[in-house]
């Protein structure tokens, strides 16, 4: 998907930051075990003066840079996220791990970019692993070592219970949600997992696949009801998030809340639609459906507002429990916005000032909003242009937990930036590679200071490097990446070429750029 370029003026005037848009990392200083099994893995409670802060990381799914009010959204109501930004720190130059969900989540969990992390695509058909392997250093294993109770609620997508990538084999004491990303396309699924137990829901056999929904000549106002069940995953997962926080309020905990909002399908209980009455776009190619909906604009907006309300509920719970001042919240997204399921991201200007969206390595596909919130620790109303990425979360969490890492990673802790302290290290460059572009071959991208290098193959496989010119953009002058200035800056092009060649230990057959 390629979306129209936007102006950057309203973003600059608002002084908002990319990092504050879409990931909520909550660091709180308490957490008791959820059950006896978890308690056995948890260190004894420490005093309030000495214990490490709890961490809650909230990851939205396919939420664009411009999808919340603090980053310029005018059509979707997000008062809680806007308040979080006003009372915390916004990052203007934060990036997702990839242009689609599985590799992006892999960079988060392992602290390694897509040139090094084990999962580099959604399909699992590359010469890389389709799941995290045994012995992988992860956010979960690192924080368990530090005495944290660890949990994931939402979409996992890094392995199944049939392989080594299962959450409980990758350092997560507790899991609730979708183990795989295919079932996660449905907000009224047949079942969800709690640990290794399947929780069957009262939704019958609703399915999103194949995508092409046969409407059988019925009006969409009637047929969409076939895709609305009784048990809404978005409500069920929020309940488990709140339970996890309450049950772990006495010892350090890490909660990774991988919500599926607002990923297609466009599904939400009708009661949530009340705040919105947009003119709808009418007919759309049914091949782009996951499920039909008569009001897809209103439904997508309502889904984002539901997530916003849930973030507000989490903050209120931390305050109720008396641990808000010991809690860091970081909110971000796994990749850029997607128009699948009639999401109409152009109507909402979801990619903000940037070009492209999901599956693109242009800024609209990987620049992510991020908000960090920690009362008394992070300066309220602050903005940072520190260049960071999802793979920086692991070393940041390790710093918070005061634990050493045992394996080499690509991430750099941004804790000094959060605390307003000197000594923040900077990346020499950020790197991405992506192998699943619709209608095209593999792509590479590098962020080097203010410069963005982009190389996109014309075919699917075996394209020689010499046949693929590198595009160069000055992100300060041209954030929408509309003017290729490679010819004017051969020295910068050469530096980015070196960074791309240094990307990985082994070349992939489908990534023949050597």
3-state SS, 290-334, equals CCCCCCHHHHHHHHHHHHHHHHHHHHHHHHHCCCHHHEEEEEEEC
- Count Cα atoms within 13 angstroms, Cβ side, for 377: 20
pLDDT value at position 287?
59
Higher pLDDT, 430 or 5: 430
pLDDT value at position 506?
45
pLDDT value at position 201?
98
Per-residue confidence at 136, pLDDT binned at 50, 70, 90? very high
Q: Which domains does the chain have, with CATH numbers?
A: 9-427 (3.40.720.10), 439-501 (3.30.1120.10)
Q: What is the pLDDT of residues 328-380, one digit of tens each?
A: 999 999 999 998 888 899 999 999 999 999 999 999 999 999 999 999 999 99
pTM of the model: 0.89
Asked if residue 148 has pLDDT above 60, the reply is yes
pLDDT value at position 240?
98
Question: CB count, 10 Å around CB of 27?
Answer: 29
Q: What percent of the chain has pLDDT over 90?
A: 72
Cα angle, residue 89 at apex, residues 332 and 56 outer, rounded to 5°: 50
The rounded Cα 110 to chain-centroid distance in angstroms is 14
Cα angle, residue 239 at apex, residues 233 and 244 outer, rounded to 5°: 125
> How high does pLDDT run on average in the chain?
86
| Cβ-Cβ contacts under 8 Å for 12 (sequence gap 6 or more) | none
210: preceding bond cis by omega (within 30 degrees):
yes
Structure tokens at 299: 């439904």
Higher pLDDT, 24 or 499: 499
Residue among 26, 20, 3 at smallest CA distance from 72:
20
Higher pLDDT, 442 or 248: 248
């Amino acid at each position: 998907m390629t979306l129209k370029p936007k102006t950057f003026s309203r973003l600059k005037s608002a002084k908002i930051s990319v990092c504050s848009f879409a990931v909520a990392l909550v660091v709180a200083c308490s957490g008791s075990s959820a059950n006896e099994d978890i308690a056995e893995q948890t260190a004894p409670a420490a005093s309030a003066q000495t214990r490490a802060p709890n961490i809650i990381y909230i990851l939205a799914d396919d939420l664009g840079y411009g999808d919340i009010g603090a980053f310029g959204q005018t059509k979707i109501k997000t008062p809680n996220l806007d308040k979080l930004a006003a009372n915390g720190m916004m990052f203007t130059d934060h990036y997702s791990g990839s242009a689609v969900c599985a590799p992006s989540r892999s960079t988060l969990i392992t602290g390694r970019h897509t040139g090094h992390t084990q999962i580099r695509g959604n399909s699992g058909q590359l010469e890389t692993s389709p799941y995290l392997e045994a012995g992988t250093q992860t956010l979960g294993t690192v924080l368990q070592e530090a005495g944290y109770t660890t949990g994931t609620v939402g979409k996992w997508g890094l392995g199944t219970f049939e392989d080594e990538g299962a959450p409980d084999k990758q350092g997560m004491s507790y899991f609730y949600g979708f183990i795989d990303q295919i079932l996660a396309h449905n907000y009224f699924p047949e079942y969800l997992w709690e640990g290794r137990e399947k929780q069957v829901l009262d939704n019958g056999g609703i399915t999103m696949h194949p995508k092409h929904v046969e409407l059988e000549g019925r009006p969409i106002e009637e047929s969409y009801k076939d895709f609305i069940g009784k048990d809404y995953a978005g409500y069920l997962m929020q309940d488990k998030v709140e339970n996890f926080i309450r049950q772990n309020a006495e010892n350090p905990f890490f909660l990774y809340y991988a919500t599926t909002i607002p990923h297609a399908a466009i599904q939400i209980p009708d009661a949530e639609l009340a705040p919105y009455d947009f003119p709808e776009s009418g007919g759309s190619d049914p091949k782009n459906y996951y499920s039909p909906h008569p009001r897809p604009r209103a439904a997508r907006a309502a889904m984002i507002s539901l997530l916003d309300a849930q973030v507000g509920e989490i903050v209120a719970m931390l305050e109720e429990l008396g641990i808000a001042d010991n809690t860091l919240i970081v909110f971000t997204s796994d990749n850029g916005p997607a128009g699948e399921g009639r999401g109409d991201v152009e109507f909402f200007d979801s990619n903000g000032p940037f070009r492209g969206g999901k599956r693109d390595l242009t800024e609209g596909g990987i620049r992510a909003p991020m908000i960090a919130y920690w009362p008394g620790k992070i300066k309220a109303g602050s903005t940072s242009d520190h260049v960071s990425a999802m793979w920086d979360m692991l070393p940041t969490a390790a710093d918070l937990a005061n634990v050493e890492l045992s394996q080499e990673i690509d991430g750099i802790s941004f804790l000094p930036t959060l605390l307003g302290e000197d000594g923040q290290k900077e990346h020499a460059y950020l790197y991405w590679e992506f192998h699943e572009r619709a209608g095209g071959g593999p792509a590479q991208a590098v962020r080097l200071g203010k410069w963005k290098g982009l190389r996109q193959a014309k075919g699917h496989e075996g394209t020689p490097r010499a046949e693929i010119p590198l595009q160069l953009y000055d992100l300060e002058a041209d954030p929408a990446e509309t003017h290729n200035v490679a010819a004017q800056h051969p020295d910068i092009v050469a530096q980015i070429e070196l960074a791309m060649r240094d990307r990985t230990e082994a070349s992939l057959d489908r990534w023949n750029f050597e």
